[in-house]
Amino acid sequence: MLLAIDCGNTNTVFSIWDGDKFLCTLRTSTHHARTADAYFTWFSTLIKHYEIDHDISEVIISSTVPRVVWNLRVFADRFFNCRPLVVGKPECLLPIEARVDAGTIVGPDRLVNTAGAFDRHGGDLIVVDFGTATTFDVVAADGAYIGGVIAPGVNLSLEALHNAAAALPHVDIAKPSFVIGTNTVACIQSGVFWGYVGLVREICDRIKAERDRPMTIVATGGLAPLFQQSVDLFDSFEDDLTMHGLTVIHNHNKENAT
């Protein structure tokens, strides 16, 4: 079985793939100093709790935080006796190379989302991932990542307001009932929620105009459902897109192993 690990700047997600389906999805906060032993203590406790019968022999990692990779490598080696495949490293093959400016290191999460979305939908896609940052990945007709957009994440925007303005409280994102807020919390929620709706719509429209062709918009990431339920922005929402992309890249490497 395959253990797929997606480490974002906020959360790290582990999923076990039995070749047919994901047996479980476990989430912890991302912390660069967490040791291999700490990962295993957390992982084995939850596996036991959910009574998951697994036989992990392979590990694939995508990490937007370079510093965590070392401890995750030790975790794979010590507890599953395997050398993990790390997306973005030269030894990890991609179904198709990214076409970007020379020297650009594309976030591995974006390469993984590209592979996962192309496998499901074919080309000409915009993948919107609501993570710490909100990323837009543009996928060409042949499945290559050809660039995109990086915007501050929803929670990052809320945190920035709270941190920079003494009188503004910490606020959780929600769809406000009205655009015109009649209290501070409602004003902030309106600014960030509707501001974000506008941001996503404008960026997708401009990408489509620049590409001059119809494109399918696929959304993923923790906060995507909030927008999907409220406004018609995306053609589909796929919670497991990054995990699916990891299985696609893993398969591709097995099939092309020399």
Site of interaction with ligand ADP (CB under 6 A): 8-11, 30, 131-132, 153, 155, 221-223
**How is residue 105 written in tokens?**
């290191």
Q: Is 148 in the site for K ion (CB under 5 A)?
A: no
Q: How far is the CB of 222 from ligand ADP (least distance, A)?
A: 2
Residue 11 binding result from ligand PAZ, ligand ADP, K ion, none, given CB thresholds of 5 to 8 Å by partner type? ligand ADP
CB 58 within 8 A of CB 2: yes
| SS3 state of residue 208 | helix
φ, ψ of residue 2 to 5 degrees: the values are: -110, 130
Write down the residue that tokens 């993923």 correspond to: 220
Q: How would you classify the pairing of strands 216-220 and 125-130? A: parallel
Question: Would you count residue 203 as binding ligand PAZ (CB under 6 A)?
Answer: no
Among residues 77, 109, 124, 232, which one is catalytic? 109
Report phi then psi at 150, rounded to 5: -125, 120
Q: How many residues bind K ion (CB under 5 A)?
A: 4
Q: Which is nearer to ligand PAZ, 84 or 221 (CB)?
A: 221
Q: How far is the CB of 131 from ligand PAZ (least distance, A)?
A: 3
DSSP 160-183: HHHHH-TTPPP------S-SS-SS
Interface of this chain with K ion, residues 98 to 137, rule: CB under 5 A: 109, 129, 131
At 224, list the tokens. 């995507």
**10 Å Cβ neighbour count for 164?**
8
Known binding positions = 6-13, 107-110, 129, 132, 184
- Per the annotation, the verdict on 109 as an active-site residue is yes
Q: Which stretch binds ligand PAZ (CB under 6 A): 79-87, 132-140, 193-201, 205-213?
A: 132-140
**Which among 74, 65, 61, 73 has a CA at the least distance from the CA of 13?**
61
Verify binding: residue 64, ligand PAZ, rule CB under 6 A.
yes
Report the distance separating Cα 212 and Cα 92, nearest Å. Answer: 33
Q: Interface with K ion by CB under 5 A: which residues?
A: 8, 109, 129, 131
Query: Which residues of the chain form contacts with ligand PAZ (CB under 6 A)?
Result: 8-9, 64, 106-107, 109-110, 131-133, 135, 150
